[in-house]
Amino acid sequence: MIQVLRNATYARLFSAQVVALVGTGLLTVALGLLAFDIAGDDAGAVLGTALTIKMVAYVVVAPLIAALVDRLPKKTVLVTADMVRLAIALSLPFVTEAWQIYLLVFVLQSASATFTPAFQSLIPAVLPAERDYTRALSLSRLAYDLESLLSPMLAAALLTVVSYSNLFLGTAAGFAGSAVLVLVSRLPAHPSDPQRLTYWQRAPLGLQVFARTPSLRFLMLTNVVVAAAIALVLVNSVVYARGVFARDDAAVAVALAAFGLGSLVVAFLVPRLIERLGVVATMRFGTAVVSVALVASVAVTALAVETGQGWFWLLGTWTALGVGTSLVATPSARLLAEASTPGNRNLVYTAQFALSHACYLVTYPVAGWLGARSLTLAAAVLTALALGAASLAAVYVRRAGLVGAAPQPSAMSAIQRNASNEDSITER
């Protein structure tokens, strides 16, 4: 997997991703403590509202900004987004009201909604060989999983010597480091737009590719499965650990770590699974794992609510959910690369970014608001959503002729044909 780091451009981009992720992890901890400082026992409501604002930024703002900046050099877009995020991170320690959190989170997440799809759309051009690209996807997933495990530990260590407001400085340092690493990278030049499309023609382009591409319609259904699993884990882990099982704060981290561990292990196996099974079959296997684990979560929840027992069963279920979501999410970028061209890739990745996060506008309220009334009912509804989407995906795969299909080579082959020209089309 680490062989792809021999590519100097990708090594810098991956390093930029890692330092930005560390900064984001510190931000998550610091923002929660800031919300508690402002709202006390109502901190959950503040964070819930901020999380909803984050999803709105991802769903609404991402496609519009992507179309607006699509003609700009990727380096300019990425560095500007990092600078905006850095400025917001430096502003957060001075917040005194909840509405200020909402405003700054919206701006910060709008910048992230600009950065992430643009960053992801670069990787197929930097690593045109399919095997290298798959390894890069797994390495990227590994970085996300390690961040989910290590950032809370780093934050806890820092909080023993500094106040939580200083964590925002660590966040700013992460975004600054990301900007510097992108700035010194030689990135593929942005392809020209021979059709000279207008903004309003470019804005819906990614969604149009989704609508006409069978593999991406399949991907949309799998997004629902992943969103159901992640919402249950992220929203309700604290409720299970503290409320149902009456454990300490560290138990929340243990539950989240169990989910991250499952995802982490699979990140090493995905390249081999894809080579053996193909992208679609690997993702279908992942939806099956998630579905079974969610069914188990209903039983575990019912037992726990009734008796207060089953903590280790919960950890096992969370680990299985981590395995399943990684099996779906890690290969999904291959479908995006193969369904897009260098000219529209950023818009297609942005469409996936927006559509996948739109699913959370449904699953987060189900997990949170319904879970406040009945954890068992929330788990059951999320399970029903995942089972329905997984079943539809399985039917669609058969009808669309995607059964057992390996990725279509056309788009990646086109990238490979252009790879020899990479040195002549780099931007300084």
pLDDT confidence of residue 427: 37
Cβ atoms within 10 Å, residue 144:
20
Please tell me the distance from the alpha carbon of residue 252 to that of residue 259, in angstroms, as a whole number: 11
Both tokens of 133, joined, read 């690209």
Q: Is 297 left (phi over 0), alpha (psi -120 to 50) or beta?
A: alpha
| DSSP string over 382-407 | HHHHHHHHHHHHHHHHHHTT-TTPPP
Please tell me the distance from the alpha carbon of residue 178 to that of residue 299, in angstroms, as a whole number: 43
pLDDT confidence of residue 219: 92
Q: What's at 253, amino acid-wise? A: A
Dihedrals φ, ψ of 383, to 5°?
-65, -45
> For residue 187, what are the β-bridge partners?
427
pLDDT confidence of residue 193: 52
Please tell me the distance from the alpha carbon of residue 116 to that of residue 178, in angstroms, as a whole number: 12
Q: What share of the chain is helix, strand, coil (3-state, %, to 5)?
A: 85, 0, 15
Per-residue confidence in pLDDT tens, the chain, 428 aa: 567 888 888 899 889 988 988 888 788 767 766 776 777 645 555 666 777 788 888 777 777 777 777 777 888 889 999 999 999 999 998 988 888 888 998 998 888 888 887 887 788 888 888 778 777 776 776 676 566 656 656 766 676 777 778 888 989 999 999 999 999 988 776 655 555 555 455 657 777 888 888 888 999 999 999 999 998 988 788 788 878 888 876 677 778 778 878 887 887 788 888 888 888 999 999 999 999 999 999 999 999 999 989 999 999 999 999 999 989 988 887 888 788 877 777 678 778 877 888 898 888 888 877 887 889 999 999 999 999 999 999 998 888 777 644 444 444 443 333 333 333 333 33
Question: What is the H or E stretch that residue 188 is in?
Answer: strand 187-188
**Nearest residue to 227 (alpha-carbon basis) of 55, 390, 359, 66:** 359
Q: Find the DSSP H helices in 164-278.
A: 167-183, 199-202, 205-212, 214-238, 249-277
Cβ atoms within 10 Å, residue 192:
9
What distances in angstroms separate CA 328 from CA 222, 267, 302, one per listed residue? 7, 11, 27
Question: What is the H or E stretch that residue 349 is in?
Answer: helix 345-358
Residue carrying structure tokens 């193909």 = 278
**Nearest residue to 334 (alpha-carbon basis) of 419, 190, 229, 218:** 218
pLDDT confidence of residue 156: 62
Residue 418 buriedness (CB in 10 A; 0-12 / 13-18 / 19+)? middle
Please tell me the distance from the alpha carbon of residue 377 to that of residue 379, in angstroms, as a whole number: 5
Please tell me the distance from the alpha carbon of residue 359 to that of residue 352, in angstroms, as a whole number: 11
Question: Do strands 426-427 and 187-188 pair parallel, antiparallel, or not at all (unpaired)?
Answer: antiparallel
Please tell me the distance from the alpha carbon of residue 256 to that of residue 253, in angstroms, as a whole number: 5
Residue carrying structure tokens 């806890």 = 156
pLDDT confidence of residue 196: 57
pLDDT confidence of residue 393: 92
Q: Please report how many Cα atoms fall inside a 13 Å half-sphere around the Cα of residue 355, on the Cβ side.
A: 24
pLDDT confidence of residue 302: 95
Q: Please report how many Cα atoms fall inside a 13 Å half-sphere around the Cα of residue 334, on the Cβ side.
A: 30
pLDDT confidence of residue 96: 86
pLDDT confidence of residue 80: 93
pLDDT confidence of residue 32: 65
Domains of the chain, with CATH numbers? Answer: 1-186 (1.20.1250.20), 201-417 (1.20.1250.20)
